[in-house]
Amino acid sequence: MDTVRLDEGLFRTTAPNGVVVLSERLPGVRSAAVGVYVRTASAHEVTGQMGISHLLEHMVFKGTERRTSRQLALELEVRGGGLDAFTGRDYTSYQAHVLDEDVPLAADILTDLVRRPLLRDADLESERNVILEEINGVADTPDDLVFELHAAAMWPEHPYGFSILGTPETLGSISAADLQRLHRDGYHRGNCVIAAAGNLEHGPLLDTLVREGWFEENGGSPARPPVGMTPAARGECRNEPRDTAQTHIVFGTDTFPLRDPRRFPLAILTNVFGGGMSSRLFQRVREELGLAYAVFAYKHFYQSSGQLGVYIGTQPGTADEAVEAIGAEYDRLAREGLPADELADGKRQLKGQVMLSLESPAARMGRLAGFELHDDEYRPLDAMLAEIDAVTQADVAAVAGEFFPSARQTVMRLGPK
């Protein structure tokens, strides 16, 4: 196996079968976070099986070759630890946060979940009903639903526009055999990244993974490559009638993957635009015009693209005024970029966010995995902060000019006619 030291207490090992292991030692804590990230998720689905990756994530918790569903729930919780999972666009994650002495147990349980689930037909109907309730919950929560509708409007022909949860129709068509096939094709060792951070050492972690069979022959294809892209819809306006007290509106456009060097100028712009109480949107739309309680900008990075957007919830009678005000702020930023003082403040804000976000073992673990999952080169924290400091007014002006014109934004409105 090939092991390299990336930083103080931080190592990366690549096994011949393709699995990658990263760890960071944090001696000042008494806990550790361990995660297995599988490069199989909603971006790899076809329309007729939308939601299958999320259903598989649920089904592995119904029992494994070694543990019942109750044992999976109890073994870490009774020791004060926790077990969690989520399905994203590009990968599915299984994570444990435990006392440092319980890292071997966490690795055992995570291995059980990822590599040895039973996926029984007898468990499928009840878990399908659980996810149907999850879908119903989104349908009853308009400030969640509007984001799903916006993604579908922006990427109508691409899995990035799919609902991660799926639909009642697609869930109803998925069989246990379909789940077993997806598990066989997607959950093999070479398609996995294992990351850990906390009071642990890389060598003993590798020893634990050896005992769990992670470095044996792969039995599958290499890691999935990034999904191909189709053009995103730009400049479209959609309305979804719904009897709600507010009109919920999302603006958004496609951007670029995380590994793109423009991510820091975009992050600075997103913060200045709508990242908090001091942002332009909050001050203009909420404080000056009184058009909303909630208004914010956001960004998402995927393996093959990215997304920049704005959300606002406002009264139906003020929705047009809100759209006009936000559009004007979009165009102002696209036209003018940032003055030197706002850029300096934006750099300080982003650097503070980056540093504060790494205060827990789970956050450190996620950061490590992210470099590998997004094909990004590892850089020490100080190097990342230096990259933020190096952003110029010309850098932010170029990004603002390309991604912030209001005419580029696809807009989804959910609310009364």
Query: Residues with catalytic annotation?
Result: 57
| Nearest partner of 41 among 123, 152, 142, 162, judged by Cα | 162
192 with 114: CB under 8 angstroms?
yes
* CA Rg value for the chain: 22
What is the layout of strands, in order, in the sheet containing 82-87? 2-7, 10-14, 20-25, 192-198, 31-38, 92-99, 82-87
In angstroms, the CA 413 to CA 407 distance is 16
